[in-house]
A and B are shown apart, each in its own frame.
Chain A
Amino acid sequence: MTGRGRLLYLKGVATLRLEQEACIGCGMCLTVCPQDVFAMEHGKKVRISEPDACMECGACTMNCPVGAIWVQSGVGCAQAVFNTMLGRSSEACCSLEGKPDGGSCC
C-alpha cells in the first residue's frame, strides 16, 4: 500500500517510458513531477526510480526539452471514464476528451 510512507496506486500499469540515451540530465522532470518518480544518476542522467508512483499527468513529457520521456497522459478519474463511455463529453462532468466546460469532477 505504501512505500516510504506514501500512497501508491496500482502496480505496473503506468505507461511512462524514458529513453535514457537521449537524456541530457537537465532535471526538468524532477522539478515538475508531483510524485517523485524520477531520480538523477551520478548527476548526469535521469532514471525512473518509482514507476508505480506515476499518475500519468504528463508534466515530464511536456517539459522534457529533448523528448526523452513518453507517457500516455490522462486523468485518473472513474467518472471521466464513465462519461466517455456514455458519450457525455460536455454535460455532467469532465471526460477523457477533455472538454473543459461543464462538469463537477474536478
Chain B
Amino acid sequence: MAIAEQAFVLGILETPVGPVPQVATVCAGRDRWGALRVRLGFGRMRYTVEPGLYGVGAPQEDSPVLVTANYKLSFDHLRAALVGLNAWVLVLDTNGINVWCAAGKGTFGTIALCAQVAASRLDQLVRHRRLIVPQLGAPGIAAHAVKQQSGFSVVYGPAMARHLPEFLGRGMQATPVMRRKTFSLLERAVLIPVEVVVACKWALPLSLVLYVASGLLGSASFGENLRELGAWTMVGLWSGIVAGTVLTPLLLPVLPGRAFSLKGGVAGLMVVLVFLAVFFSRSGTSGNGLTGLAWLLLIPAIASFLGMEFTGASTYTSLSGVKKEMRLAVPFQVAAVLCGMLLLIWARRLQ
C-alpha cells in the first residue's frame, strides 16, 4: 500500500523534502478492532504500517523527530500519545515487530536508523540534529555510532510512549519512572489472551484425542465413558492450562520463587487442590485414589510448563536465567506428565 493511502493518514504536509503524510492522533474504530485482534494473537506478524516519514499536527523545522518501529500497535500507541503536539515520526522497517523485540534482533538498529534518516532527507527537513529514540530501542542502537554516521544525536525517550508529552514538556528530560519498564497487573493481564490462544493450538487437538481415548478406554459404554471419564479428563487438562496461562500471569508477583516454572507449578498446585476436592466429592467410581494422584502430577506439570512459556512475554527475564530454569524444570515436567499418564491408565485397568 502506498504510504499516503493508509487509513490513518489525514492529509499531506508540503515540506522542503516533498509531501509527507500527516497522521491522525485519534485511533479510529478499525484501529481498536485491529489492536483487539492482535492482542488475541491473530495476524500479529502482518500488522504493519509502511516505513518512512510521517508528520503529526503541524510540524516545523524545529519540531522533534520521534523514531519507532513499523508494528502498527507500536505506531498507534505513539500517535495516540501525541494529541495536540507537532512532531515528525520516523518509522523503521522492522518487519512488523515491536521496538523492543526488533532492537534485540537488530532490525531496529543503528544501520536501519541511519539509512532511514538519509532516505527521508531529515537534514533538509529539520534545523536541529536530534532523534528521539524509544529507550527500549537501545539494545539495537549505538547512540555514539548514530552520531558518527548520520550527524544526528540520539536522545533516549521514555520507555513508554504515553510519557512522551511529559518528556517533551520537561525539555527532553526523563524522570526515573519513565526509565523503568514495569510489569503491572494490567500489563500482564493484556498478555493473557495471546498465551491462551497459543496454548490452544496444541491443547485443542490434544483435548479431542484424549476425549475420544477416554471413551474407548473406560469400562462402561462409549457414551457413558465420555460423560464420566472424558469430562474429568477435560476438566483436568484445562485446569492446568488455566493455571499456567491465566493465573500465573495474574498472580506473578505473589507466587513464590523467582523461576517462572516454579510460579506456574505453584499456581497448578492451588488449582489441583480445588480440582481434587470437587473430584472426590462428585466422582463415585473405584480407582479414585490413583486418578487423583495422577492429576496431582499432571495439572502442576502443565501449569509449570505454561508458566515457563510466559518468560517470553515478561519484561524482566534474561536468557541465562531461562536456560538455567529450563535445564532444571523440563526433566521434572516431562517425568510428572509421563507418571501422571501411566497412573491414569493404570487406574482404568484396576476398574
Contact = CB atoms under 8 A, between A and B. Distances in A.
Interface of A: 1-2, 7-11, 13-15, 28, 31-36, 53-59, 62-63, 65, 72-81, 94, 96, 98-106
Interface stretch (B207-215, B227-235, B310-318): B310-318
A106 B139 contact: no
Contact of A78 (B95, B103, B312): B312
B107 A100 contact: yes
A34 B181 CA distance: 5
Contacts of A11: 258
6 contacts: A75-B319, A76-B318, A76-B321, A77-B311, A80-B312, A100-B95
B142 A31 contact: no
Interface string B285-298: 00000000000000
Contacts of B127: none
Given A8-B258, A32-B138, A14 B102 contact: no
Interface of B: 41, 44-45, 94-95, 97-98, 100-107, 135-136, 138-144, 156, 159, 174, 176, 179-181, 183, 194, 198, 252-253, 256-260, 308-309, 311-326
B308 to A, nearest CB: 5
A18 to B, nearest CB: 16
Nearest to B102: A100
Nearest to A32: B138
A28 B146 CA distance: 14
A73 B104 contact: yes
A4 to B, nearest CB: 11
Contacts of A76: 311-312, 314, 316-319, 321-322
Nearest to A59: B138
Nearest to B311: A78
B132 to A, nearest CB: 13
B143 A63 contact: yes
A34 B159 contact: yes
A80 B319 CA distance: 10
B108 to A, nearest CB: 9
Contact of B322 (A58, A78, A106): A78
B139 A62 contact: yes
A92 to B, nearest CB: 9
Nearest to B181: A34
A3 B323 CA distance: 23
A44 B322 CA distance: 34
B317 A100 contact: no
B348 to A, nearest CB: 32
B180 A35 contact: yes
Given A9-B258, A104-B45, A106-B312, A58 B317 contact: no
Contacts of B325: 10
A101 B322 CA distance: 23
A96 B95 CA distance: 17
Given A32-B138, A58-B139, A100-B95, A13 B324 contact: yes
B316 A35 contact: yes
Given A1-B257, A76-B316, A104-B45, 20 more contacts: A7-B252, A9-B316, A10-B318, A14-B318, A34-B179, A36-B176, A58-B139, A59-B103, A59-B139, A74-B104, A75-B104, A76-B317, A99-B105, A101-B95, A102-B45, A104-B41, A104-B44, A105-B312, A106-B101, A106-B313
Given A7-B316, A104-B44, A81 B322 contact: yes
A54 B181 CA distance: 12
Nearest 7 CB-CB pairings of A with B: A77-B312, A76-B317, A74-B319, A106-B101, A59-B138, A32-B138, A34-B181
A73 B259 CA distance: 19
Given A77-B311, A101-B95, A32 B135 contact: yes
A22 B258 CA distance: 33
A33 B305 CA distance: 29
Nearest to A54: B318
Contacts of A36: 176, 179-180
